[in-house]
A and B are shown apart, each in its own frame.
Chain A
Amino acid sequence: MRKIYFDHSATTPVDDRVLEKMLPFFSTTFGNPSSIHNYGREARMALNAARENLASLIHAAPDELIFTSGGTEADNLAIKGLAFHPNNQRRHIITTSVEHHAVLNVCKYLEQRGFHVTYLPVDQYGMVSPDKLTEHISEDTFLISIMHANNEVGTINPIQEIGAIAREHGICFHSDAVQSFGKIPIDVNALNVDLLSISAHKIYGPKGIGALYVRKGIPLQKLNHGGHHEYERRAGTENVPAIIGFEMAASLCQDNLPAETEQIAHLRNNLQTQILARIPRVHLNGHPAQRLPGHLNLSFEGVEGEALLLSLDLKGIAASSGSACTAGTTENSHVLLAMGIKPFLAQSAIRFTLGRMNSSADIEYTVEVLPEIIERLRKISPF
């Protein structure tokens, strides 16, 4: 049976070239970078080079990058790191209602510890308004955390503008760029960010590695104590093979920008157009233009999202609803609800995220099988 992967936002396969670059670091250049002998030195050199390259991709300095176990840890480190630093006397955080749970749940955790959090609303496209932000800034605000692009609908926020406001008020600005890194250009200076989370497994790199960009001078409370790694900011022997892979994956994305993203957007637009043409009562969720190139989030009226996903899976098509992290629950997506999408439409939403694995044959097959599935589900569904 044909297998089609439309879930690149959940994760991506490791690119062959990335895997090839990683392999020597498992058994040949395997040393602990902290060791003084030759094995260590070799690993250290490779690690340094990777750090430097990766940092330069976002226009950061090498010592402004902290490697973590992934995007979630980077978000945790950014928010808790600022909140718990002994110099921080303030207690107010501003974030949005559509952040990933790796940001939202950290905020909820901090609320239980005496911090106050404002969750900014979003418009019908899932976008944050800089005006709304200004309204909520106070003397007590020490952090603004607003994601660069949303994982569920792909909407891209006006980070540059938001960053400028944060700068104006002297407040630290963090952005979760896990979905946007590698797909749209990121320059931490142009974007006015102080902290930025990125992850490898969303960009054809290995799972288990991410990074937090921390602008020089920002004080962060260490969360992982132990050795002196990552400039005393995050203890733990460096995952050299993964870091090498991360850098390679990121470089490949950079090299392919904008040709690859244009191609993916082209396929995505094709899929969108054909679905909307062949199937009635379908709604696009997210901004039609200010959107990541691979994202297509659609609500199919009268169809239960889960039933659709399972039906697609049985036809070999992999997609998701909500985010992968919350699959298996029947809760409505907090993102769609925050966008004001009615529950019955939120419940019928499916997320297709296209990427390097897709071709026009995938689109053709999908538009062939989808209408029949929708028809069947509309006949049986309760609503």
Chain B
Amino acid sequence: MKHKEVVAVALSGGVDSSVAAALLVEQNYSVIGLTMQLWNHPEVAHAPQYAHSNHALTTINDARAVCQQLGIPHYVINIEAVFEEQIIQEFIEEYLAGRTPNPCVRCNYLIKWGALLQRAQQIGATKFATGHYVRCEYNPQRQRYVLLKGLDTQKEQSYVLWRLTQAQLAQTIFPVGHFTKAAVRQKAKALGLKIARKSESQEICFIPDNDYEHFLLAKRPELIEQLQQGEVINEEGRVLGFHRGYPFYTIGQRKGLRVAAGHRIYVNKIDPLTNRIYVGRREKIFSKGLRALNVNWVALDGNFKSMSVTAKIRYKDPGFPAILEPVNTNEILLHFLEPQKSVTPGQSVVFYQGDELVGGGIIENALS
């Protein structure tokens, strides 16, 4: 007896989204499973060594099998062209600009809650769901949809969703946000879902083996020559040696520098115009704050002078106290209470108050 709304679930073929779909079916929604086809690298899709990862065709087949088990329709939505243009090309451009991008954040905002959400609406879905470990609640006083961390502190994934707008959140259900990962796996097992034992995937979905260096060079072969003979410069301005090419390094990097310095050195600046990497002592990679652009406000509307928050500047960041100072609707300054390591332009900074995700932005530069 399906009486509730039609929900489209973004299925990756993994445990979390599969259980999300199962829960919605149990809650009497009319559920439709949608799997995105984002890229097509035949050499990877069929290769046996990648069969365990989410690069293989098995992801689509797994999602299909889950839908068959749940008795719901399943469609594969081909978003390759848009993904190439908006995610992959942007990813490359960011690296070429000497920044370290986070494509998953962008993909959620532009593709999953973009082209895929639109397709969901087109086929009659009035709600959209994913398997993210987050919670979303409507706050009537503030009249805003508030994103909250998932209950499982280890697994919670709010960090990658900071860009979601109020309109996007209004249409979304996050069925597994109230569960722990262990409980989700249990549920998958109880339902007899074939994918219950699937291992976690931590890679960027379009780069096999996380070898983004190889990926960049394959996509832009002209770089191979251009990136030759890039200098590694130390704090005194001396050339210590040469590096592989500036896009392959990130702020705070210690390994793979291939230069001798007598003491531990870390990358503290990347200059794409001169193909130079600047290195120095550990102290040099600490900053007192940061400036971020492309700010998106979630729990609050950013209409305040300053506020104490807990901030994360990386996905796995445990979070640190800071003072948030909006400059305008699109820009913020964040002042750290304690100096923080490796503020990396291109990465996302997300600010919280307790469990509530206040907002986020893209790190433009560190404040020294």
Spell out A's residues near B (CB within 8 Å): 304, 306-307, 310-311, 313-314, 328-330, 376-377, 380-382
Q: Which residue of A lies closest to B118 (CB)?
A: A380
Q: How would you classify the secondary structure of chain A's contact residues: helix, strand, loop or mixed? A: helix
In-complex Cβ contact of A376 among B32, B37, B73, B124 (8 A): B124
Q: Mark B66-97, 1 if CB is under 8 A from A, else 0.
A: 00000001011110110000000000000000
- A165 to nearest B CB, angstroms? 41
> Which residues of B sit under 8 angstroms from A330, Cβ to Cβ?
78, 80-81
The bracket for how many chain B residues form the interface is 10 to 19
13 contacts between A and B (CB under 8 A): A304-B122, A306-B77, A310-B75, A310-B122, A311-B122, A311-B124, A314-B124, A328-B78, A330-B78, A330-B80, A376-B122, A380-B118, A382-B118
| Distance in angstroms between the alpha carbons of A329 and B77 in the assembled complex | 9
| Distance in angstroms between the alpha carbons of A182 and B124 in the assembled complex | 39
Q: How would you classify the secondary structure of chain B's contact residues: helix, strand, loop or mixed? A: mixed
Q: Which residue of A lies closest to B125 (CB)?
A: A314
Spell out B's residues near A (CB within 8 Å): 32, 37, 73, 75-78, 80-81, 118-119, 121-124
- A157 to nearest B CB, angstroms? 31
- A318 to nearest B CB, angstroms? 12
From A310, A380, A382, name the one whose CB has the most chain B CB atoms within 10 angstroms.
A310
- B154 to nearest A CB, angstroms? 37
Q: Which residue of B lies closest to A382 (CB)?
A: B118
- B80 to nearest A CB, angstroms? 7
> Which residues of A sit under 8 angstroms from B80, Cβ to Cβ?
330
Q: State whether B122 touches A307 (Cβ < 8 A).
A: yes
Given A314-B32, A314-B73, CB of A329 within 8 Å of CB of B78: yes
- B224 to nearest A CB, angstroms? 28
- B9 to nearest A CB, angstroms? 14
Q: Which residue of A lies closest to B60 (CB)?
A: A328
In-complex Cβ contact of A380 among B37, B77, B122 (8 A): B122
| Distance in angstroms between the alpha carbons of A311 and B123 in the assembled complex | 5
Q: Which residue of A lies closest to B37 (CB)?
A: A328
- B338 to nearest A CB, angstroms? 47
Given A314-B73, A328-B76, CB of A307 within 8 Å of CB of B81: no
> Which residues of A sit under 8 angstroms from B118, Cβ to Cβ?
380, 382
| Distance in angstroms between the alpha carbons of A307 and B122 in the assembled complex | 6
In-complex Cβ contact of B73 among A304, A313, A377, A382 (8 A): A313
Q: Which residue of A lies closest to B6 (CB)?
A: A314
> Which residues of B sit under 8 angstroms from A304, Cβ to Cβ?
122
